[in-house]
Amino acid sequence: MASENNFDMYRKAIDDIKKAIVLSQSSALETVNKVQLLLYLTIGRYISSLSRTAQWGSNALSIIADRLQKEMPGLRGFSETNLKLMRTFYEQWSFLIMNSSVATDEIQFIDSNINFKEDLNLPVKAQGEIDSDCLKFNLNNFFSLPFTHHSIILTKVKDIQERLFYINVCAKDHWSVSSLKKAMADDDYHHRGQMVNNFQLTLSEEEKARRAVMAFKDQYVLDFINVEEFGARDIEDVDERVVENQIVNNIKNFIMTFGKDFTFIGNQYHIEVMGHSHYIDLLFYHRELCCLVAIELKVGSFKPSYLGQLQNYLAILDDYERKPNENPSIGLILCRDVDKAYAEYVIRNFEKPMGIATFKAADDLPEKLKKYLPDPDDLKKLL
């Protein structure tokens, strides 16, 4: 507990932070998240400028947090830990925020209303080599994300590009905290856009190809599939239809794994062509790509013959199912493992847009990753 005898030396800081909190609470409700983040950036900047110098003692934030709690009963979010997070929040993103004249003006507006400005002589922290694309980052996405999400990203991720990736996806797909944690446990950043595919060769427009590449990952964690339930030692001992049924029975989780833009149409989707029946394992529609997505599930290793089968399905979908306003269908082979170099060599000879990804079941995961995943019973309750 901080000493009561020491708080007088931090009286001005306590009063300044209280004024900042009151000012932010009076702002319009529709901008509450942005106002809150601007408040945290401003307080973080203020704390950084004083705590990183000899002006404050080592227990300053503890004393300030204790007095804020006593003088503003019911106040939440301004513990010593959170004040340190606000300082980190500013210091890590100062290069990005201070590059935006709009954000800088808004922070200076708060400064001028609570007399922070006179204390803020700390230069923007150097961040090493900053990619020019970082400086063009969409700040609307940044300010739409709750501070809890920002805190998790800052704590768990060190690379700037990776941080921006998770901010973008969280804002776009409205991820919950649990969704963000699962994506980080699955290492989405290093798997997104890495799938073996022929999109650049088969899709007519470069932008369509880029969006298609980013819509898929090279590996999916299907943690709701547990081969032990089938009495099998390995997933290769399990029939593909059994795994497919597990996916269908847990379709909500499967869609969350792939992304919210995927809409489930059906499994063993039947199409009759000239008296011949065809059954597609899993059929989805992707809203952003505006196309059907056929997924063929293979519990073994990748084989080139799978692409021939999938190309045939895509041709049938385009001829018999695709609407006039829709883009060409895309196919995905979801298999146990793949030799990427060999698959990249083989797939270039096919005319339909296809990709090859792998999947992991719960049994395959290292123990350190399993702890991040939801309990199977909790998943069943959700469904």
* pLDDT number for residue 139: 81
The C-alpha atoms of residue 348 and residue 354 are separated, in whole angstroms, by: 10
* pLDDT number for residue 343: 94
Residue at 326: amino acid letter: E
Last residue of a domain, one of 147, 168, 186: 186
Q: Which residue has the tokens 């006593």?
A: 70
* pLDDT number for residue 382: 37
Task: Mark whether 231 and 316 lie in a shared domain.
Answer: yes
Task: Mark whether 318 and 274 lie in a shared domain.
Answer: yes
pLDDT (tens digit, 0 to 9) for every residue of the chain, 383 residues total?
455 556 667 877 888 888 777 766 554 444 678 878 888 888 898 888 888 776 787 788 999 999 988 888 888 888 999 999 999 999 998 887 766 655 566 665 555 555 554 444 444 444 444 555 565 677 888 888 899 999 999 999 999 889 998 998 888 878 888 889 888 888 888 887 778 898 889 988 888 888 888 888 888 777 655 544 544 445 555 566 666 777 766 666 666 677 778 888 988 899 999 999 999 988 999 988 899 999 998 878 999 999 999 999 999 999 999 999 999 999 999 888 899 999 999 999 999 999 999 887 655 545 544 444 444 444 344 33
The C-alpha atoms of residue 249 and residue 92 are separated, in whole angstroms, by: 43
Identify any residues that bridge with 356 across adjacent strands, giving them in sequence order. 196, 333
* pLDDT number for residue 305: 94
Last residue of a domain, one of 186, 202, 231: 186
Q: At what angle do helices 177-185 and 147-156 cross, to 10 degrees?
A: 20
3-state DSSP assignment of residue 126:
coil
One-character DSSP codes across 36-104: HHHHHHHHHHHHHHHHTSTTS-TTHHHHHHHHHHHHSTT--S-SHHHHHHHHHHHHHHHHHHTT-HHHH
- Contact between 52 and 91 (Cβ < 8 Å): no
69: its two tokens? 């709690």
Task: Mark whether 223 and 106 lie in a shared domain.
Answer: no
Of 217, 202, 216, give the one whose Cα is nearest residue 327.
202
Give the CATH number, domain containing residue 236. 3.40.1350.10
Task: Mark whether 102 and 181 lie in a shared domain.
Answer: yes
The C-alpha atoms of residue 57 and residue 10 are separated, in whole angstroms, by: 10
Task: Mark whether 295 and 354 lie in a shared domain.
Answer: yes
Give the residue numbers spanning the domain of 224.
191-382
Task: Mark whether 347 and 274 lie in a shared domain.
Answer: yes
* pLDDT number for residue 150: 94
Q: How many domains, in total, are found in the chain? A: 2
Task: Mark whether 168 and 260 lie in a shared domain.
Answer: no
359: its two tokens? 């999947």
One-character DSSP codes across 226-295: -GGGGT-SSGGGS-HHHHHHHHHHTHHHHHHHH-TTEEEEEEEEEEEETTEEEEEEEEEEETTTTEEEEE
3-state DSSP assignment of residue 3:
coil
Task: Mark whether 23 and 87 lie in a shared domain.
Answer: yes
Task: Mark whether 274 and 162 lie in a shared domain.
Answer: no
211: its two tokens? 């969006």
319: its two tokens? 């001829």
Task: Mark whether 48 and 94 lie in a shared domain.
Answer: yes
Last residue of a domain, one of 164, 186, 208: 186
Beta pairing, strands 354-361 & 219-222: parallel
Total-model pTM:
0.59
188: its two tokens? 């989405």
Of 220, 229, 252, give the one whose Cα is nearest residue 379.
252
- Contact between 252 and 382 (Cβ < 8 Å): yes
In degrees and rounded to multiples of 5, residue 290 shows phi and psi of: 55, 55
- Contact between 213 and 352 (Cβ < 8 Å): no
Task: Mark whether 277 and 153 lie in a shared domain.
Answer: no
Task: Mark whether 247 and 149 lie in a shared domain.
Answer: no
The C-alpha atoms of residue 176 and residue 235 are separated, in whole angstroms, by: 30
